[in-house]
């Protein structure tokens, strides 16, 4: 329930709400890791050298990973008797579609700005698990575009926006909840980047990028109260990233990888 000034009537303590939200995010990671077990058992290559595994195995692994997020959210809804009516899904209004467009443009602008700063200061960036799974396989990149639309964006937005962020509404304003949820989302990426990064600076840059993207998609959900809006914006943006990666490999751009600098590199390098 909102007051006329947009401030929430506090229904929970801020510390408790934050701990529960963080716990839900962690629970989502645990369930997603457990959900990928069948793929790992069927093709152990995914553990030591994922890029060398079959496309079928890699596809199954990624799908199961995101199915795990949905399962975690579903378990929370069942355990708290909230039910699926708690999920904010509806066809976007005209205003909602404007936010979808904003949600596509804003991350691109943010990534370009970050890329300029990264290149100007010579800062390092870190790879992530997805990079290790894709390698330089263009077919897998195209598969990932489909996964983004049907599994990645819907699952992440459902768990981290409709479950984690919305849980924070009981103790914080919507915009405060966006900031806290985005911080949680960024922090849970730290262990992965620690595996792939060469330095603390690389981890920090990558976490800032993740945090900024989460802020944008979280704000879209908070403003529209419709999960469909950030799902579409998220899916299109990620699909554009994979599309640019595909072009980078196709045109043999040196060091092609889905990092913040990729967007700027391709704007200058792809023939018109």
Which of these, 70, 64, 104, 85, lies nearest to 220 by C-alpha position? 104
Residue whose tokens read 């000034």: 5
Q: In the chain, pLDDT over 70 holds for what percent of residues? A: 88
The pLDDT assigned to 133 comes to 86
Give the side-chain half-sphere CA count within 13 A for 266. 24
Residue 270 pLDDT greater than 70, yes or no: no
Using alpha carbons, select from 237, 248, 243 the residue that is nearest to residue 270: 248
Tens-place pLDDT, residues 55-77: 999 999 999 999 999 999 999 99
d(CA 246, CA 244): 5
d(CA 195, CA 97): 38
> Model confidence over 108-167: pLDDT tens digits?
999 889 888 888 888 887 767 787 888 889 999 999 999 999 999 999 999 999 999 999
Residue 68 confidence (pLDDT): 97
Region of residue 83 (phi > 0: left; psi between -120 and 50: alpha; otherwise: beta): left
**Would you say the C-alpha torsion 131, 180, 69, 16 has a positive or negative sign?**
positive
d(CA 148, CA 137): 16
Distance in angstroms (rounded) separating the CA atoms of residues 264 and 178 = 28
pLDDT recorded at residue 88: 98
Q: In 242-254, which positions are buried (b, 16+ CB within 10 angstroms) versus exposed (e)?
A: bebbbbbbeeebe
How far is CA 188 from each of CA 45, 103, 182, 193, 234, rounded to the nearest angstrom? Answer: 25, 23, 10, 10, 19
| Alpha helices per DSSP H over the chain | 14-35, 37-42, 45-48, 55-79, 94-121, 129-134, 138-147, 153-157, 166-168, 174-187, 190-196, 200-224, 228-250, 261-269
Closest CA to 155 of 51, 18, 35, 53: 35
List C-alpha distances in Å: 240 to 50, 108, 192, 232.
23, 9, 23, 12
Average pLDDT, stretch 199-213?
89
Query: What is the rounded average pLDDT of the residues 188-204?
Result: 84
Strand partners, 2: 8
Strand partners, 8: 2
Phi, psi dihedrals of residue 44, rounded to the nearest 5° = -60, -20
Domain boundaries along the sequence of the chain: 14-269
Contact partners, residue 96, CB within 8 Å, separation at least 6: 224, 226, 228, 229
Helix (H) or strand (E) holding 255: none
Read off the pTM.
Answer: 0.88
């Amino acid at each position: 329930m909102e007051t006329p000034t947009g401030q929430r009537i506090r229904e929970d303590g801020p510390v408790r709400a934050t701990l529960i939200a963080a716990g839900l995010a962690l629970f989502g990671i645990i369930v997603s890791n457990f959900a990928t077990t069948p793929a790992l058992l069927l093709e152990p290559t995914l553990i030591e050298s994922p890029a060398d595994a079959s496309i079928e195995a890699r596809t199954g692994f990624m799908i199961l990973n995101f199915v795990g997020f949905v399962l975690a959210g579903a378990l929370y809804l069942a355990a708290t008797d909230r039910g699926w009516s708690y999920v904010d899904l509806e066809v976007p209004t005209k205003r909602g579609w404007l936010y979808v467009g904003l949600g596509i443009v804003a991350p691109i602008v943010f990534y370009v700005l970050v890329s300029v700063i990264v290149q100007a200061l010579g800062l390092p960036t870190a790879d992530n698990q997805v990079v290790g799974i894709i390698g330089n396989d263009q077919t897998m990149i195209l598969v990932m575009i489909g996964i983004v639309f049907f599994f990645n964006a819907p699952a992440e937005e459902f768990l981290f926006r409709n479950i984690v962020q919305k849980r924070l509404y009981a103790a914080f304003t919507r915009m405060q909840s966006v900031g806290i949820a985005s911080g949680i989302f960024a922090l849970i990426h730290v262990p992965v980047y620690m595996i792939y990064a060469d330095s603390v600076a690389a981890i920090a840059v990558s976490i800032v990028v993740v945090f900024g993207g989460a802020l944008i998609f979280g704000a879209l959900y908070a403003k529209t109260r419709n999960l469909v809006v950030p799902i579409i914006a998220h899916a299109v943006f990620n699909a554009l990233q994979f599309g640019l990666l595909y072009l980078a490999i196709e045109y043999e751009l040196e060091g092609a990888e889905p990092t913040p600098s990729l967007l700027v590199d391709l704007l200058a390098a792809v023939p018109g």
